[in-house]
Amino acid sequence: MRLSLKPFLPRSLFGRAALILIVPTVTIQLIVSVAFIQRHFEGVTRQLVNGVVIELSLLRDVIEAAGSADAALAAVQPLAQAVEMRVELPAAEVAEEDRRAWEDLTAGAVIAELRQRLPNVVSIDLASVRGTVLLTEQTRFGPMRVSVARGRVSASNPHQLLVIMLLASVFMTLIAYIFLRNQLRPIKRLAEAAEAFGKGEAVPYRPRGALEVRAAGAAFLDMRARIERAIETRTLMLSGVSHDLRTPITRLRLGLSMLPEDEEVTALLSDVREMERLVDEFLAFARGDAMEESVEVDPAEIAARVADNVARSGGQLEWESRLNGRMVLRLRPQAVQRAVENLVGNALRHGMRVRLTLSASERAVRFVVEDDGPGIPEAQREMAMAPFARLGAARDPNRGGGVGLGLSIAADVARSHGGRLVLGRSETLGGLRAELLLAR
């Protein structure tokens, strides 16, 4: 079984950059601690112990040369004071084993070196008295205990070095964190501007940061300007086309209204109204929602208006809101309402029972339209969302005189709000399930 570290690694650029910064720092700290403290300070400790061992050997020689224990103690005391040691002969209490504190980094080297150089050592106590080494050695007059300052047998500043290294690492990490945040902030702003533009909002943005980030920001601004000019040009052109198309259609309708009413005139008026509907549907698709500004609105209000419009037109629509209280999002309400109405209209044309459900997750709002009609085969669902797509007679978007733009308009509205349109099969009604997702 292969173990993967991806689920445990940060996903954001800032988190990964911080990990790249922290891991080498911690690794260097460990290497320095092992290589410098354990080796260098142990070497220094051995050199200091060697000097103390020479002095202890001198004390032992004086004791061994004395004729009695009292004479030995009297002879060794002046010498012990000269080398800053205290001698107890014979020792009142003799420890049976060595003692050391768990946090003492150099205790192991001190004990090993003393036992190697002094074969008559009984025990070495580095924990009973703080800052003192209690060494017990066997002599011809009994056990001799010598007290030596700890600073004479080992380096006294490994902990200070660790503290200095830790503080320096924290300080440098803080500086690197501030620098890294300043470097990543322009990337975050560029991502926010691109995300907002994907939702149809042109937020103010100015390229900042490193040269590469500035170049990417400038390219984004150029792209946004070209897209905005293209949308504006298309909108102006369509406005002119709309006026040119509506004028002759209006003249036709007025001319027909002046004629005597009969079956032929009634059929012609029906054709004119159908032409107006087709032109309106085509222009709604071509214009999209470019002319509408985003405002804060409650999605439940949009769904309620759609249900009211269906009820006024004589249709039957079941709708339910599963939102917990009021929710406010920045949307283009007319565009979203037009997209939902297109989905509901398609469902009403092809099914007897239609249901609209509004729900929300952490990242999206969902308008779900379900019906009990024939549905759309899975292989044709992508094609059904293409403009002017024509499916089989069982589920034809052009049924009722349409031009196959309802699903395409809904998909464009979803994309302009940072979402998408998903087609599937309704598990409850058995027909088509159209899910309009809008990013929160």
Q: Which CATH number fits domain 206-287: 3.40.50.1980, 1.10.3720.10, 2.40.10.340, 1.10.287.130?
A: 1.10.287.130
CA angle in degrees (0–180, nearest 5) for 165-168-173: 120
The reported pLDDT for the residue numbered 369 is 92
Q: How far is CA 297 from CA 79, 332, 363, in A?
A: 94, 8, 17
**What are the pLDDT digits (tens) for 20-70?**
777 777 777 777 766 666 666 767 777 888 888 888 888 888 888 888 888
Extents of the domains making up the chain: 9-159, 206-287, 291-439
pLDDT of residue 401: 43
9-159 domain in CATH 3.30.450? yes
CA atoms of 365 and 342, how far apart (whole Å): 18
Write a three-state SS string for the chain.
CCCCCHHHCCCCHHHHHHHHHHHHHHHHHHHHHHHHHHHHHHHHHHHHHHHHHHHHHHHHHHHHHCCCHHHHHHHHHHHHHHCCEEEECCCCCCCCCCECCCCCCCHHHHHHHHHHHCCCEEEEECCCCCCEEEEEEEECCEEEEEEEEHHHCCCCCHHHHHHHHHHHHHHHHHHHHHHHHHHHHHHHHHHHHHHHHHCCCCCCCCCCCCHHHHHHHHHHHHHHHHHHHHHHHHHHHHHHHHHHHHHHHHHHHHHHHCCCCCHHHHHHHHHHHHHHHHHHHHHHHHHCCCCCCCEEECHHHHHHHHHHHHHHCCCCCEEEECCCCCCCEEECHHHHHHHHHHHHHHHHHHCCCEEEEEEECCCEEEEEEEECCCCCCHHHHHHHCCCCCCCCHHHCCCCCCCCCCHHHHHHHHHHHCCCEEEEEECCCCCCEEEEEEEEC
Q: What is the CATH number of domain 291-439?
A: 3.30.565.10
pLDDT of residue 396: 46
The answer, as to whether pTM is greater than 0.75, is: no
pLDDT of residue 4: 64
* Size of the chain in residues: 440
> Would you state the pLDDT for residue 400?
46
Low-confidence spans in the chain with pLDDT less than 50: 1, 393-401
Which tokens sit at 245?
């198309």
Taking all residues of the chain, what is their mean pLDDT, rounded to a whole number? 80
Q: Read off the DSSP letter of residue 132.
A: E
In 3D space, the residue among 306, 261, 256 whose CA is nearest the CA of residue 276 turns out to be 256
